[in-house]
Structure 1
Amino acid sequence: MPTRLPTAARLLLVALACGVSAATSARSPRVDPFVEAVRLAERPVVQTSATSGALATDHGLLPPAYGVEGGFEPLPVAAPPVGAVAGWGYDSGPGFGWQLMPDGLIYRSYLAGPREPRLALHSFNNRTPIQKSENLWDATLGGRRGILRYGDYDPVSPVGWQLDLEGAAIVRLNLDENRDVDASDFRFGVPLTYTAGDGVAYKFGYYHVSSHLGDELIARTGVNNRVNYVRDAIILGVSRHVTPDLRVYGEMAWAFFTAGGAEPWEFQFGAEWSHAGPTGFAGTPFLATNAHLREEVDFGGDWTLQAGWLWRGDTGSTLRVGLHYMNGQSTQYQFFDRWEEQIGAGLWMDF
């Protein structure tokens, strides 16, 4: 039968064990082996490059991090989202590569731009020299989507190059005349956009726009004075975030083909403000203004002011409601040389 140690002896052994443990800890920075094992199990699996000593991952090479016993400590790398395309070329850094149908836009549409591709509805009273006053809806049925990106995987503020497709039908409905279609403009574009992540973004591309007079307006008035307004243009734009909340921009376009009174040059510039980042259900106030100058009206044009409330999602898409004011030449190209003043409200959704 084993002999039980006296209480004093047992206390002495416990004290010695504690002293040895403390001395060992002083000589080595290792943590508890069970905690270390769990941490290593949760660490991303990486391999050390035989040539540079950097850490090879699925998304490029990571530089080594010193100060950890054993040589290197791998840096955590976020996996690309589902749908990211691998193997199209080299990666210039962690999380940087080719993507097909990426989420988010590098160069976003102008909030107060009346001819941007989006889902929108303006309801307003319109004063003109001819009709004096009329109640109208301007509905935009369209959108914009990235099709190819070489850059990072951030959906809100991506960095790199991106090719987009955009398209929209901008239709005017007359509320005073049984919601007749008075006119419609159709737009299609292919913009190439770029940013280095320094708050400045660039846009270069092509767009086509054509205008059509509504059959119902022709049947109602008997007047068929449709103009075949067409533009095929090359566009160049620059956008800068002065602060995370404030964006200013400017762009110019030159049309290599025109018809129906359109002339080659146009310029657009403006500013917009709203709190940056996803807003959640609370949303944020917004304020936006835009000016558009066109050669065919002696570089006059239209000025738009919008203010209201905005909600922004995790991919940068926005939903807005607010007040709308426009003064200048008509935003419908079928009436491109007619002065209008629009006062009303709107609902806008940008992708």
Structure 2
Amino acid sequence: MENLFIEIAQFLSGVYSLILILVGTPLNLLCFYIFTRLVPNRSNPTIIVFAHLALIELLIPFTWNINYVVRELLWKYQKTTSIKNVEQHSLFICKLIAYGAYFSLQCAAWLKTLATFARCVSLHNNWPLKKWLSKPVVIRRVIWFVVILIGFLNFPILIVNGKREYVNDQYNQTKIEIKCYQSSFFQFWEIAHLLIYNFIPFTLMIFCNILIIRQVRESRNRTQRSKLSATSPKNHRTKTSDGGRLTKTLILVTIFFILFTSPAAIFYIFFGKKIKNHKNLITMTFSNLATTSHVTSFIIYWLTSADFRDAAISAIFCRPIASQRHSIEDKQHDKHISDQPPLAPPIVQSNDVDQRKLPLLLSS
């Protein structure tokens, strides 16, 4: 009975991994297209980071999750092959999947941290860093610096991971097997990965969100105490609502990231070496849970940003979002004109006086 339950759970985990790939791929592509082509505030540093983040999160399901799909849904039911994991197919695939998995996860975590930090800097006008980081060219350079740095940190995986071994099968024939994740390097790298992917980004994102919430509250208190003119409240409410939506987006991204990735970190630190039974199922479950946080970004953007939601609807249904926004602006302009008092008729008194004086001049 227990073995049947484990087999069903492994099959469902494989199906869930397939769903993550099928759902996450088009959604992340759509996020990248929206952030680079459709949203109105494309020059915002946080939006620029979100665009690059969508490309990184696009790669995540095609690492360990694709292995779970092939292993649990295809190769597990084939008796002709002795390969259990995709990494065992060749030494190149072993190195590529391992490097891609660690690199993409860490890069996504640090880009989310960078987006939160950029938002925090943009809200503090007295910080000298704001003028520098608010430039699109600068934030793109910072993004590429983060990507290259994380790629360099994971470079030892391409060298150390994977080795060929000659083994004898049941028919006493010599075969070559690929051994992945067998090096003693991974005993150290698992701890380093948890620090780079989980705890350090956790701490920085929480700290930045605390500063963001504090700054937003102080700004609202100053707004309530100040006396605004007749036209400024409308403009101020618009800016506050736009900034508030972006702040809510970052807070939800942080919360989802912490909730979905913390169980895997806690398991590997406290129970990874103690639990031996059904470790593959537990690892697969936590890995799918962590990947979920990188697939649900579209849902967070949809719920918190009206601009993103309008752009997504226009992209899905092929509607020109520019014409819709132009028509809305025309309606607001017409309403503003209708609210104004009617203009007084022109004064033509001087012309009438001249016309009355003209016969007198002619008669004289």
Query: In proportion to residue count, which structure has more helix?
Result: 2
Q: Which TM-score band (shorter chain)?
A: under 0.3
Instruction: Determine which structure has greater relative contact order: mean sequence separation of CA pairs < 8 Å that are 6+ residues apart, divided by chain length.
Output: 2
- TM-score, with length taken from structure 1: 0.21
Larger proportion of strand: 1
